[in-house]
Amino acid sequence: MPTEAKYKATAIASGGGRDGRTALTDGTLAFDLAIPKELGGPGGDKANPEKLFALGYAACFLGAMNFVAGQAKKKVPAGTTVSTTIGIGPRSEGGFGITAALAVHLPGMPAGDAQNLVAAAHDVCPYSNAIKASVEVDLTTTT
């Protein structure tokens, strides 16, 4: 299904890729990167693609929940959080793959309503839509 992009962001990676640098062409963000120790790199406090993916997915999913709630003329409870864990490792078929887990906390919302909201957000979130055909996303909801 084609997408009509209303907004685009462009980044450039340089150096060694996962152990180089990445920056947005508009100058608003830039990161030095390091390969995690678990993947044979030096690790440390530098960024890596999985950290950046986790940041974006968490924010995007929370935005999707607000969108879905707004469509139903409801509100996401104050204090709602989305914690996203992105993993990377070898695939049995060869190469590498990612894992994704989202833990959504909706304080005070009835459990059934919370689960329905999270499921609906997973259907509209662009990050979820981008990966759901190839990555199983583990969704956990607490209230």
CATH number for the domain harbouring residue 85: 3.30.300.20
Query: Residue for token digits 């060694």?
Result: 16
Mean pLDDT of 114-131: 97
User: Could you give the angle at the alpha carbon of 52 between the alpha carbons of 46 and 54, nearest 5°?
Assistant: 120
Say what the pLDDT of residue 70 is. Answer: 97
CATH number for the domain harbouring residue 2: 2.20.25.10
What is the C-alpha separation between 104 and 1, in angstroms, rounded?
28
In this structure, the answer to whether residues 23 and 77 fall within a common structural domain is: no
With a threshold of 0.85, does the pTM exceed it? Answer: yes
Say what the pLDDT of residue 28 is. Answer: 98
In this structure, the answer to whether residues 120 and 133 fall within a common structural domain is: yes
**pLDDT digits over 58-77, tens only?**
999 999 999 999 999 999 99
**pLDDT digits over 1-25, tens only?**
689 999 999 999 999 999 999 999 9
Say what the pLDDT of residue 2 is. Answer: 84
User: Could you give the angle at the alpha carbon of 37 between the alpha carbons of 31 and 40, nearest 5°?
Assistant: 105
In this structure, the answer to whether residues 70 and 120 fall within a common structural domain is: yes
**pLDDT digits over 72-119, tens only?**
999 999 999 999 999 999 999 999 999 999 999 999 999 999 999 999
What is the C-alpha separation between 93 and 100, in angstroms, rounded?
18
User: Could you give the angle at the alpha carbon of 142 between the alpha carbons of 69 and 51, nearest 5°?
Assistant: 85
In this structure, the answer to whether residues 61 and 109 fall within a common structural domain is: yes
Instruction: Give me the domain span that covers residue 19.
Output: 1-47
Q: Specify whether the CB–CB gap between 67 and 119 falls below 8 A.
A: no
In this structure, the answer to whether residues 121 and 59 fall within a common structural domain is: yes
